[in-house]
Amino acid sequence: MDLHAPIFVAGHRGLVGAALVRRLEALGCTDLRLATRGELDLTDQTAVRDWFAAQRPAYVFLAAARVGGIHANDTYPAEFIYQNLAIELNVIDAAHRNRVRKLQFLGSSCIYPRLAPQPMTEDALLGGPLEPTNEWYAIAKIAGIKLCQAYRRQYGFDAISLMPTNLYGPGDNFDLNTSHVLPALLRRFDEAVASGAPDITLWGSGTPRREFLHVDDLADAAVFLMQHYSAPDIINVGVGTDVSIAELADLVARATGYRGTIRWDTARPDGPPRKLLDTRRLTDLGWRPRMALADGIADTLAWYRAQGGALRGGAGETA
């Protein structure tokens, strides 16, 4: 990848996109092409085609998406599948039409079957039923993968697909109605400390296990793969270890200074029992994460508190 060529980061105001911009700027990129949702609606095919024809980016990081946790996926299934499909179709096709040198599509670990063997290898894709609580998002992301593979096969378009694990970090969405588990826990515990709450009730049983990758590590891996990987096969991006949600809650409690009682509402859904990625394909290429989970939680909490509890997003949107 030529760091001085025009680079489009789609979704630069979202968690992943902002981290990508930080990483690219740190590497000395001199021609970042960025557009807010108000400037470019990625679900509008004509607008996307016109923008690409005018801007002519050489490289594209497709990080724009409609995202959210279990509640958001369950509440807005139509928006999750429609908006993500529209973004992928428009951006990937416009990139091909305008001779983009390389495109990177950011997927998600939720593409894998609910009961996929753990840790999940890339060939587990389409090997069984999806997790019902996020199948709308997962199906859209699977379609994006297949679109990249189809354009590579038919047109020779250099499109690669990354499957990140659960992400967190500065710039995350802390809206309790639409956020993922880690930022939701950070906000819940921070507010419990401020209010002096003697106990806090969390969703589910606390037993599911999840893997968490700091978004700055993801950005580093994304740029690394843009420079060193070109193949139709998807590639997992994660840390290779996981924790239970109860263990995660304990880490967040310690980071925030909460000393009350943690209770679990087992009537609420847990989601898949485990989601751990097999990252050997990535580590064999020479990349490894740097941020330990406890350090990443402290970093994200410091950012959140510095915002005065400001929220990003709403109704599960990011851009």
Catalytic residues, by residue number, are: 137
Task: Tell how far CA 4 is from the center of its chain.
Answer: 26
Report whether 191 contacts 185 (CB < 8 A): no
Q: In 3D, which of 231, 251, 72, 256 has the Cα closest to residue 160?
A: 231
Sign of CA dihedral 54, 59, 61, 66: positive
Residue 62, CA distances (Å) to 100, 217, 305 in order:
12, 17, 29
Measured distance CA(316)–CA(72) in Å, rounded = 6
Distance CA 184, CA 212 (A): 14
What tokens were used for 182? 């880690």
